[in-house]
Amino acid sequence: MNIPKTSTPRIVIIGGGFAGISLAKKLSKQEVQVVMLDRHNYHTFQPLLYQVSTGALEPDSIAYPIRKILSHYPNFYFRLANVEEVVPEKKIVRTDIGEIFYDYLVLATGSRTNYYGNQSIKENGMAMKTIPQSLNLRSLILENFEQALLTDSLDEQDALMNFVIVGAGPTGVELAGALAEIKKGILHKDYPDLDTRRVQINLIQASDRVLQEMSPVASKKAEQFLENLGVHIWKDVLVTGYDGETVTTNSDLTFQTATLIWSAGVMGATVNGLNAEDLIARGNRVKVNEFNQVEGFKDIFAVGDIAAMSTEKYPYGHPMMAQPAIQQGKHLGINFERLLNNKPMKPFSYYDKGSMATIGRNKAVVDLPNFKFQGVFAWFVWMFIHLFFLIGFRNRMVVFINWAYNYIRFDREARLIIRPYKNPKTKDEETQVA
């Protein structure tokens, strides 16, 4: 990989997501060489992927070059590489561009879509975990309308204009709200020769409420907001298959649709060599101790979505969200300093700052540890927090201007089919860029 050997310890970080970047920043002042490997040369702000899929934002406003984030840090090296295997006995990482030796290794590989083994959904459904996937979805949605214009069959038109979203967590809810707003404000103007009142947005949830991880009051309000926007919510329904035309469920209920969007779960993005059965906890995450050390290894750590740290409050690991990833990354940075100075490491403790979701224009729900609120104020809080956590001044400005423009004009201008979507059938999109 052409990385110079130095006398300082080499820390290899796999993944430039929230956890990997927070850790690398903390290591910047330490006497170490940091090598970051990622299959993308950019950091993705995943919470706003749905806005790319629905044409509210261009993809480059939610992505940021990893090299630029860390360019002024000494001893930092980035390599664009897909990690294929870790060989702990030899302390090397094997990638598609060669191997690299590590003194310490940090897994910060995040998660990938969990289809729970359902091959038909994996092959025919759409996921939204990466920017390429979000662009695929944006293209497919727009291509469906173009195709609907060309057919006289009402059944075919209905299937093309029926969007089925499976999983009513924050991603599913936010996407359903955004599609409902497009139906309300944009479609009839773009497609005056289509009866876009027949567009349907179906949100399917296996349990008895949407936003299950949030408070009951947030769930109730979110359902109300969605229903007012015309979203059909189906609770206690388990989707069992999708052949590209029909969605089947555990009851007689079926849906004819050209678009199934799968937002029903994620699982740890494990790496070969560190995926032995006894290392893996629920959700395909890697078991770590209170210092984020992978079980059984002194020199290998895991942070963020991939790490399962079992605590009394979180027996199956912390929530797979940005805050635990950021906090674990920072904390491990502090622990590395202690470790390298022969001081005992400090256990990680998670500070829960709350959670939120937006349902559309002027509508959001926010659960803070001691205060819950919904509506317009929650929506402003949601926007402020997302702008704050976006990386890069330019991105913040672009997103802010886009949101202000969309708000005033009731518009979403990125309705572009830049790269037409073609279903590759066997798309393991989070390991090969689709």
List of residues contacting ligand FAD (CB under 6 A): 14-20, 37-40, 46-47, 49, 82-83, 108-110, 128-129, 170-171, 269, 271, 304-305, 320-323, 325
Provide, rounded to whole angstroms, the least separation between the CB of residue 176 and ligand FAD.
13
Annotation marks residue 174 as catalytic: yes
> How far is 219 from 404, CA to CA, in rounded Å?
27
> How far is 145 from 294, CA to CA, in rounded Å?
48
Q: Which two tokens stand for residue 37?
A: 């490997």
Residue nearer to ligand FAD on the CB measure, 160 or 281: 281
Provide, rounded to whole angstroms, the least separation between the CB of residue 347 and ligand FAD.
19
Residue nearer to ligand FAD on the CB measure, 242 or 382: 382
DSSP H or E segment with residue 254: strand 254-256
Provide, rounded to whole angstroms, the least separation between the CB of residue 412 and ligand FAD.
17
Residue nearer to ligand FAD on the CB measure, 39 or 221: 39
Provide, rounded to whole angstroms, the least separation between the CB of residue 109 and ligand FAD.
4
Half-sphere exposure of 197 (CA within 13 A, CB side): 1
Q: Which of 223, 247, 246, 222 is nearest to 233 (CA)?
A: 223
When CB distances to ligand FAD are compared, the closest residue is 17
Query: Contact at 8 Å (CB) between 51 and 144?
Result: no
Residue nearer to ligand FAD on the CB measure, 46 or 205: 46
Residue nearer to ligand FAD on the CB measure, 271 or 399: 271
Q: Choose, from 58, 174, 223, 430, the residue flagged as catalytic.
A: 174
Number of helices (H) and strands (E), helices first, in the chain?
A: 12, 25
Provide, rounded to whole angstroms, the least separation between the CB of residue 339 and ligand FAD.
21
Q: What share of the chain is helix, strand, coil (3-state, %, to 5)?
A: 35, 25, 40
Residue nearer to ligand FAD on the CB measure, 80 or 334: 80
Q: Which two tokens stand for residue 406?
A: 């969309």
Provide, rounded to whole angstroms, the least separation between the CB of residue 329 and ligand FAD.
7
103-to-12, 14, 35, 37, 92 alpha-carbon distances in Å: 8, 14, 11, 15, 9
> How far is 369 from 88, CA to CA, in rounded Å?
40
Query: Contact at 8 Å (CB) between 255 and 202?
Result: yes
DSSP symbol at 186: I
Q: Which two tokens stand for residue 45?
A: 């702000």
Which residues are marked as active site? 174
